[in-house]
Structure 1
Amino acid sequence: MTDTVADVTPEIAPSSYDAAQRRSDAIWQKIESDPSGLRMLTGDRPTGALHIGHYFGSLRNRVRLQQAGVETWVIVADYQVITDREILGDIQGSVRELLTDYLAVGIDPERATIFTHSAVPALNQLMLPFLSLVTQPELERNPTVKAELAAAGKSAMGGLMLTYPVHQAADILFCHGNLVPVGKDQLPHIEQTRVIARRFNERYAGGEEYFPEPDALLSESPTILGLDGENKMSKSLGNTVMLRMDEAETLKKIKKAKTDADRQITYDPEDRPEVANLLTIAAQSTGRTPEDIAEEIGDRGAGTLKIFTAEALNAHLAPLRARRAELEQDPGYLMQVLRTGNERANAEADETLQRVREFMGMVY
């Protein structure tokens, strides 16, 4: 999963990261040779339409994995919207926007199961046995949870925030997902899921490997910063280019992007992050390297770079935006996709919960 409660990057032990990286490298090799047996669980919180940070950072990779033959499950995590906020907003509208973006970028409902948290009660019921497998100190030590609490500006941690990693474990394990594309910031959640799967198998399943210990597939995509060049793209900060924007809106946004006074364009992410970010967007849009684009623009300055980036981005997103416009005209189709996905997810979750009850001696 990619859309966490907050855009944060907690500290992770180097040894844990190295082990996760090794497993991730091995999975990439398996995908290239034989993806059979791999089931990917990914998704986002429905807080509105998606932006190019989502697209270049995760959506495009999900489509790549789907096309490579990896079985794909995509969760619209509507229950997680209430993890760190008191006002829900237009949840149904946000779910519709998210679903439209998913289909527009190429997630195929014939090959992928797209479903919502709240429509799959058996998934959420797995929280109860899973909570029996973790301790309060373990949850409180989770670096992502602590960082998310700080980012939300709250001093007291709500129960849903504290147990967020367990809920995410239920998301992954209910369908026996064994592959989760994530960035480094989500590794603590994946490690917690691995622990829960291992403990369930040992405590309740008599050592049978009923739940797999899922692996993180670490993203190879570069981070796209917001147009302020400092933070990740965030709708709340207003530093985004939304996928649904038209060409004129995109050009207007890119022209307002922060740069610097040096007319010579160079790719230097450390010392010139704002310029480097525009070069990265242009490179992702064209398939060229940021260094090559910087050399082409040379001393023609940030204005030329902005126009180049906007035109490249608009050209790249044109087919996606055309498909999105078609989908918006057929809301009935969107809801049918979601109903079908929810039916599949419920069948899977019901079967998993029944087996869990059998392991725990709770079938009456």
Structure 2
Amino acid sequence: MTPISTPGFAAALARSEAVTREVELRPERFRVLTGERPTGPLHLGHYFGSIAERARLQRLGVDVFLVLADYQVITDREGTGNIRENVHGAVLDYLAAGMDPEQTTIFTHSAVPALNQLLLPFLSLMSEAELHRNPTVKAELQASGRALSGLLLTYPVHQAADILFCGGNLVPVGKDNLPHVEATRLIARRFNERYEPIFREPEALLTRSPEVPGLDGRKMSKSYGNAIALGASADETAALIRGVATDSRREITFDPGARPGVSALLSTAALCTDRTPEEIAAEVGGGGSAALKALTTEAVNEFLAPHRERRARIAADPGTVREVLRRGNERANEIAEVTLDRVRSAMGMSY
């Protein structure tokens, strides 16, 4: 087998910048596959980290596929939790953020059987050693504190199937997820060489989205309980911010290493007001943590108010989410069946 060779970050960034220019000029040539595991409510980190970029690509005219990877919830968990609520909440947030189901296909992983059938031939194209070397698998395993499941070990192959089944040729990712795109390119290349050329090798679109810290200074994460949910009320947001652990120093300064709580609040307020943390710190000055929390609460609630208003309006019709998923799943199934038929034919399995 051809070995995996993750490109250097500088080379990947240069290629991503070239692809960005191509997307601006010829958006109709690109199909994006992106999405997330519905393990909890979407939060401010999702908005700045990925949702805003998806909406931008949609506005350019790129064909966007958004997968809610419900099967992948159990890669590192013993159960599915509130998965139905999480899926429906994510669709509401997508719609409120401007994702248009007439332009963007929103679907659930479990609703597309032909997509999941691609796992078997794709798994045959990866060695066990290659799966173990994937840094995302290592990171997820460490974070979970559980034994390595077969589903987590094969996580990169699941993602390859998500991308390749729909002909995705553009994948927005952060630096840490570059190995997933490289694994997908490798699977596509090996299949094309072994059988016949069916799959395009996708390009990574490195996002320059700011990293949104959680309210405790760590990465904003549903599992850490430090995230501001997009669908939370203004009062819930205020209570969450009031509970942030800061320190006793009156003078507010931006120092993520020494003052994680204070700095996280400054970063959050800065993102929501399109300013720098240092500017916010200078404004609060000697007002202390109480003043900083009040400012941050106002900034977040003011920023999210239009999103929450649109979300509530959409949620008032419970049939909207069901219809969006029905149509998205229908389109995804049609495409997946065609892809699977082509794979079977290439492998000599059309009987």
- TM-score with structure 2 setting the length: 0.93
2:285 corresponds to which residue? 298
SS in 1 for 2:28: coil
In 2, Cα distance between equivalents of 1:291 and 1:30:
35
Cα shift at 1:345:
0.4
CA displacement 1:104-149 (0-9 Å, x = unmatched): 1211111100001111111111111111111111111112112211
After TM superposition, the structure 1 = structure 2 runs for residues 46-85 of structure 1, keeping only pairs within 5 Å, are 46-85=38-77
Q: What amino acid maps onto 1:278 in structure 2?
A: L
1:9 is aligned to none
- Provide Cα deviations, 1:152-178, integer angstroms capped at 9, x if missing partner: 112x32211111110110000101111
Q: Is the 8 A contact 2:41 2:222 kept in 1?
A: no
- Residue 8 (structure 1) aligns with: none
Q: CA deviation at 1:252?
A: 1.6
The Cα of 1:193 is off from its aligned counterpart by: 0.6
Counterpart residue number, 1:242: 229
Taking a change above 3 Å as real, the CA distance of residues 302 and 326 of structure 1, as seen in their structure-2 partners, is same
Matched residue type, 2:248: A
Q: Could you say which residue in structure 2 is the equivalent of 1:162?
A: 153
In structure 2, the CA distance between the partners of 1:244 and 1:15, relative to structure 1 (3 Å rule), is same
Give me the whole-angstrom Cα distance separating, in 1, the residues matched to 2:154 and 2:130: 10
Pair 29,269 (structure 1): closer, same or farther in 2 beyond 3 Å: farther
2:215 counterpart (213, 224, 227): 227
What residue number does 1:4 align with?
none
Aligned to 1:44: 36
Letter in 1 for 2:312: A
2:213 and 2:268 in contact (8 A); partners too: no
Per-residue deviation at 1:14?
8.8
SS in 1 for 2:167: coil
Contact 1:226 1:233 in 2 (8 A): yes
Kept in 1: contact 2:31–2:168 (CA 8 A): yes
Structure 1 residues 356 and 180 mapped into 2: Cα distance closer, same or farther (>3 Å)?
Answer: same
C-alpha displacement of 1:341: 0.3
Structure 1: 5+ residue stretches without partners: 1-12
* Identity %, equivalent residues: 59
SS in 2 for 1:237: coil
Alpha-carbon contact 1:20-1:215 (below 8 Å) kept? no
Q: CA deviation at 1:270?
A: 4.3
**Hey, what's the Cα distance between the residues in 2 that align with 1:239 and 1:216?**
29
Give the count of matched residue pairs: 347
Out of 284, 307, 310, the residue aligned to residue 294 of structure 2 is 307
Contact 2:6 2:182 in 1 (8 A): no
Residues 180 and 152 of structure 1: CA distance in aligned 2, closer, same or farther (over 3 Å): same
Alignment CA distance shift 1:27-1:302 (3 Å): farther
Kindly indicate whether residue 273 of structure 2 is the aligned counterpart of residue 286 of structure 1.
yes
Match of 1:215 in 2: 203
Aligned to 1:320: 307
Q: Is the 8 A contact 2:213 2:267 kept in 1?
A: no
Task: Show structure 1 runs of 4+ deviating over 6 A.
Answer: none
Q: CA deviation at 1:15?
A: 5.0
Q: Which runs of 5+ in 2 are unaligned?
A: none
Q: Which residue of 2 aligns with 1:259?
A: 246
Q: TM-score, normalised by structure 1?
A: 0.90
CA RMSD of aligned residues (A): 1.8
The offset of 1:306, in angstroms, is 1.5
Q: 1:255 to 1:345 in 2, by over 3 A?
A: same
